[in-house]
């Protein structure tokens, strides 16, 4: 099973890379598929790639559902 999770873009890095925060876990990912992303945006992340941007309210709802289900966002290998 594959799972894409919401993550906050903390910092844009060189090229199309960014540092994201996924449930307290920070990781470097590619923004090649969503180059318009800026710091402070939420993105859906799967295996090191941001697949799309996500509305902050929707990201918070999804993260709340994960928390209620006992799933930590960082555990899924953002």
pTM: 0.82
pLDDT digit string (tens) for the chain, length 78 residues: 567 889 999 999 999 999 999 989 999 999 999 999 999 999 999 999 999 999 999 998 988 888 888 866 555 445
Q: What is the pLDDT of residue 32?
A: 97
pLDDT, position 69: 85
Closest CA to 22 of 75, 66, 74: 74
């Amino acid at each position: 099973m594959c799972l894409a999770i919401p993550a906050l873009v903390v910092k844009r890095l060189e090229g199309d890379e960014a540092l994201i925060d996924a449930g307290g876990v920070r990781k470097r990912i590619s923004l090649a598929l969503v180059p318009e992303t800026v710091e402070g945006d939420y993105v859906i992340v799967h295996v090191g790639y941001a697949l799309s941007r996500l509305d902050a309210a929707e990201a918070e709802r999804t993260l709340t559902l994960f928390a209620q289900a006992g799933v930590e966002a960082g555990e899924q290998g953002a």
